[in-house]
Amino acid sequence: MTVYNFSAGPAMLPKPVLNQIKEDIPSFNNSGMSVMEISHRSSLFDNVIGDAEADLRELMNIPNNYKVLFLQGGATLQFTALPLNLATKYNHIGLIDTGHWSVRAGEEAEKIGTEVTTVATSKNYDYHQLPDYIDDGNQYDYIHLTTNNTIEGTAFDKLPKTDQILVGDMSSNFLAQQYRVEDFGAIYAGAQKNLGIAGLTVVIVRDDLIGSKDLPSMLDYQLLANKNSMLNTPPVFAIYVAGLTLKWLKDIGGIAEMEKINRAKSNQLYQFLDQSKMFNNLIKDSDRSLTNIPFVTGNKELDQEFIKQAAARGLVNLKGHRLVGGMRASLYNAMPIEGVTALVDFLDEFETKHQEEI
């Protein structure tokens, strides 16, 4: 039985990446050492991290005045690191509240004494659509937004218009759709959804925004950049996997081609949900995510039965986040179109068998 993993993260890896990992685990580049054993100070790893940065810069058209950091601690640690590094003039950031993870970013910033003002919120819409952002005339060190909301299922196709510096948590649609790096002062993303495995976080930050403050070493973007992300032992294996994933993405045509594929995958699922009499997606059409699609039947017992039967068919990790319940299909880059087709076929079959419960 083929298994399709719809988890919100850690997520599927591309098959070519998994196959290459299998080859490299016993002996990396004929070194006699596993890829998990090589030193971060070796020429072998210099090539790994150098290629990963070069490929990421090429794929995202990252300008030369932006630093690329390969860090540990998850995207959650950046909720603290970002205000420490960037909120140095006003000690005040604006927050576009689109759900759980944007709220968490604000809470963590407040813990270190940064003033946080919510400049727009989806709360009044039950987080089923994006809010309208209007510049309130205040000066902020930056405006924080979450480009894709993993739990709620909304995403920014177009960024809010502002003269303020934007900082984007791009964890769940990083490399899945196109954004201009120049539109942000900083971008950060955990790797375990579209870039590889848990244990790595990428930060892309404009170089004029950092270096003005003496910070604890492991939170200091300037020092980390000076040390090429190797102030201490970096997550060697996670960076290696990210490098393989970036080469796979280049091979299939880059982010523009990946976005076309992701739109085709999500459209297939949305089209079924929109005509279904049993299953519902509650998100405003224009604000729907390409990568995280929540849906419900309106009956908790029926939801649980669907999740159980789907898993028996190899459609796993469809349970929705505990905050919203229901189901959620995460269609990250490595999810093939065949997985979405299998899901839609089973949704249709399940609905047909339970028509009396509609």
What letter represents residue 97's amino acid? Answer: D
Count CB atoms within 10 A of the CB of residue 216: 9
Q: How far apart are CA 348 and CA 275, in angstroms?
A: 11
Catalytic-residue membership of 169: yes
Burial (Cβ within 10 Å: 0-12, 13-18, ≥19) of residue 235: buried
What letter represents residue 214's amino acid? Answer: D
Which two three-digit tokens encode residue 76? 């959650």
Which two three-digit tokens encode residue 200? 């790595």
**Choice among 67, 193, 265, 319 that is catalytic:** 193
Q: Are strands 166-169 and 92-97 parallel, antiparallel or unpaired?
A: unpaired
Q: Which residues contact 186 (CB under 8 A, 6 or more apart)?
A: 82, 86, 142, 167, 168, 203, 204, 205, 206, 209
Helix (H, G, I), strand (E, B) or coil at 310: helix
Catalytic-residue membership of 285: no
**Choice among 24, 55, 141, 169 that is catalytic:** 169
User: Which residue stretches of the chain are H helix?
Assistant: 15-24, 43-60, 74-86, 100-111, 221-226, 236-251, 254-275, 300-312, 337-353
DSSP letter for 143, please. Answer: E
Q: Is the N-terminal amide bond of 10 cis, ω within 30° of 0?
A: yes
Torsion of CA 59, 63, 65, 69, to 10 degrees: -10
Catalytic-residue membership of 248: no
Using alpha carbons, select from 284, 230, 259 the residue that is nearest to residue 71: 230
Element (H, E) at 116: strand 115-121
27, 91, 101, 314 from 186: Cα distances, Å:
37, 17, 17, 38
Burial (Cβ within 10 Å: 0-12, 13-18, ≥19) of residue 83: buried
**Choice among 55, 101, 141, 303 that is catalytic:** 101
Q: Are the C-beta atoms of residues 333 and 249 closer than 8 Å to each other?
A: yes
The residues annotated with a catalytic role in the active site are 101, 169, 193
